[in-house]
Amino acid sequence: MRTRDKLERQFPSPAPRESLYRLEREMLGQVAEEDGALSVKERLERLVAATHQAGAERRRQAQPVEVRRIVSLDEVLEGRRVENERGAFYQVEHRFPLDHWHGSVSLSRLKVVSPSAFSVLAKGDESLELDLTRAVFLDTETTGLSGGSGTAAFLIGLGYIQDESFVVRQLFMRDYPEEEAMLHELVTALGGFESLVTFNGKSFDLPLLESRLVLSRLRFALAELPHFDLLHPARSLWKARLESCRLTDLEYVLLDLERDEDVPGELIPSLYFDYLRTRDASRVFRVFTHNRYDIVSLAALTVRASEMLQEGVSPEHPIDDYSLGRLFERAALTERSILHYSRAVESGVSGKARRRSLRQLAQQLKRRQHWEECSSVWKELTSEDGPEAIEAIEELAKYLEHRQRDLAGALDHCRQAISRLEEDVRLPLAFRERWREAFRHRLRRLERLQGKRESKEGL
């Protein structure tokens, strides 16, 4: 029996599950977000309804006069075919004048950002001093998110400053045989820059491109290019304020931008696969728009992030001062972190952010041995709720005992803490038990000490 026949016998239609999912997504558009809320039955009902419509449409299309018109790339994009020694690929270039405003950020500010900001953002990595006029912003669109050698980047977007413009250059493989030429171009292009800026490129885009280069037998040490990945600094800077640090969410809050008609990320692979099979560019062009937008937003957000670090600039939200305090603390810039923590406290952040700011502030002051200021911060903290207050009482007890030799004061604090731990039911149970034990231990020790001291004095 022929393999073909065996296959049909053993694996009859319906089509495998993965294409069903794709079908579902294509027919229903953006279902992914609400998917969770729908039962399987509801999803199936929606799918069946959509399939009926699609079926009707397909029947209409089946009539020769109404065949789906194939739209070429050139009709929807202003690009061109580019050739190099490895073959040809498709390239689209957009130039934004530097006075272009992307939401609330003018692209001209790319030229004035201080290079040293990046080493702070990258947790004190001093080698990372980026000159954004010599850097390239990179973002890829891929055939999947699973990683592994079967995932390809079909569109590579590069953004950079050139001749008073911000250029977004997009390299696109119209089919797999063009990948090698596209990657060759990427390698050549990257050679002209000092550094690389991405959003989550460390764990996604770069490993993927490295794999693709190996597969195309192109050797280029991508990892050796200084690389600033905005994702983690963005989290440090804005996590306290925003729920999500996805690029589009950052964009919405920090750049005052809202994309309309953006293609949802999870649809991107199927849009490309659809183009591969049909050569109809009427849908895939939306991925170019999406990618271009991502790159310009990445550049604008990089500006926003680095400008937040400038001295004398007051952040737009008091809680940012807390985040900045953390950032400078991690970069071992104690003075700056003290400045921001105090500003956060003064400008009236409340709740957890206030408690954390106080705690970290005290910690920095303690490190500098500024005992006076430090103890007054701890005192301030004791009038707050929460676990930080208990920690502060302990610090004060230690301070009184070791620095002030004030055993009575230390004892007093221990008792105060124990009664708070016994009464404050809002604290987690395990925390209360652990700390009560610690304070009791401290109390006993202090009492012994005091007894000794008294008997000494008695002599």
Q: Which residue lies nearer to another protein by CB, 159 or 201?
A: 201
Q: Residues 283, 261: contact at Cβ < 8 Å?
A: no
Q: Which residue lies nearer to another protein by CB, 215 or 408?
A: 215
Q: Which residue lies nearer to another protein by CB, 211 or 416?
A: 211
Q: To the nearest whole angstrom, how small is the minimum distance from the Cβ of residue 442 to another protein?
A: 28
Signed CA dihedral, 179, 180, 183, 184: sign only:
negative
Q: Which of residues 195-224 bind another protein (CB under 8 A)?
A: 207, 210-212, 214-215
Q: Residues 130, 226: contact at Cβ < 8 Å?
A: yes
Q: Which of residues 70-109 bind another protein (CB under 8 A)?
A: none
Q: Which residue lies nearer to another protein by CB, 22 or 100?
A: 22
Spell out the SS3 assignment of 91-103.
Answer: EEEEEEECCCEEC
Q: Which residue lies nearer to another protein by CB, 94 or 212?
A: 212
- If one asks whether residue 38 binds another protein (CB under 8 A), the answer comes out as no
Q: Which of residues 165-194 bind another protein (CB under 8 A)?
A: 175-177
Supply the DSSP symbol for 155. E
Q: Which of residues 270-299 bind another protein (CB under 8 A)?
A: 270, 273, 276-277
Q: Residues 130, 193: contact at Cβ < 8 Å?
A: no
Question: How many whole angstroms separate alpha carbon 67 and alpha carbon 421?
Answer: 76
Q: To the nearest whole angstrom, how small is the minimum distance from the Cβ of residue 273 to another protein?
A: 5
Q: Which residue lies nearer to another protein by CB, 207 or 409?
A: 207
Residue whose token pair is 């989550």:
200
Q: To the nearest whole angstrom, how small is the minimum distance from the Cβ of residue 152 to another protein?
A: 8
Cα separations (Å) of 3 from 6, 10, 16?
A: 5, 10, 19
Peptide bond just before 14 cis, omega within 30 deg = yes
Q: Which residue lies nearer to another protein by CB, 214 or 332?
A: 214
Over the window 48 to 77, marking each residue x when it contacts another protein by CB under 8 A and - when it does not, the resulting string is ------------------------------
- If one asks whether residue 7 binds another protein (CB under 8 A), the answer comes out as yes
Q: Would you give the distance in Å from CA 141 to the centre of its chain?
A: 17
DSSP line for 28-59 = HSS-TTTGGGS-HHHHHHHHHHHHHHHHHHHH
Q: To the nearest whole angstrom, how small is the minimum distance from the Cβ of residue 140 to another protein?
A: 15
Question: How many whole angstroms separate alpha carbon 415 and alpha carbon 438?
Answer: 12
- If one asks whether residue 15 binds another protein (CB under 8 A), the answer comes out as yes
Q: Which residue lies nearer to another protein by CB, 215 or 332?
A: 215
Question: How many whole angstroms separate alpha carbon 170 and alpha carbon 164?
Answer: 19
CB contact set of 171 (below 8 Å; sequence gap of 6+): 89, 90, 91, 155, 156, 157, 158, 182, 185, 186
- If one asks whether residue 387 binds another protein (CB under 8 A), the answer comes out as no
Binding span for another protein by CB under 8 A among 4-12, 240-248, 355-363, 407-415 = 4-12
- For residue 177, give the amino acid letter: P
Binding span for another protein by CB under 8 A among 15-23, 348-356, 373-381, 403-411 = 15-23
Q: To the nearest whole angstrom, how small is the minimum distance from the Cβ of residue 218 to another protein?
A: 11
Residues listed for the chain: 459
- If one asks whether residue 269 binds another protein (CB under 8 A), the answer comes out as yes
Q: To the nearest whole angstrom, how small is the minimum distance from the Cβ of residue 233 to another protein?
A: 21
Q: Which of residues 237-256 bind another protein (CB under 8 A)?
A: none
- If one asks whether residue 265 binds another protein (CB under 8 A), the answer comes out as no
Least Cα distance to 332 among 16, 132, 119 occurs for: 119
Least Cα distance to 158 among 182, 129, 189 occurs for: 189
- If one asks whether residue 6 binds another protein (CB under 8 A), the answer comes out as yes
Q: Which two tokens stand for residue 311?
A: 């001295």
Cα angle value 228/234/237 (rounded, 5°): 125
Over the window 112 to 151, marking each residue x when it contacts another protein by CB under 8 A and - when it does not, the resulting string is -------------------------------xxxxxxxx-
CB atoms within 10 A of CB 336: 19
Q: To the nearest whole angstrom, how small is the minimum distance from the Cβ of residue 145 to another protein?
A: 7
Q: To the nearest whole angstrom, how small is the minimum distance from the Cβ of residue 147 to another protein?
A: 7
- Helices 231-238 + 247-254 axis angle, to 10: 50
Tell me which residues touch another protein (CB under 8 A): 2-4, 6-11, 15-16, 18-19, 22, 143-150, 152, 175-177, 207, 210-212, 214-215, 269-270, 273, 276-277
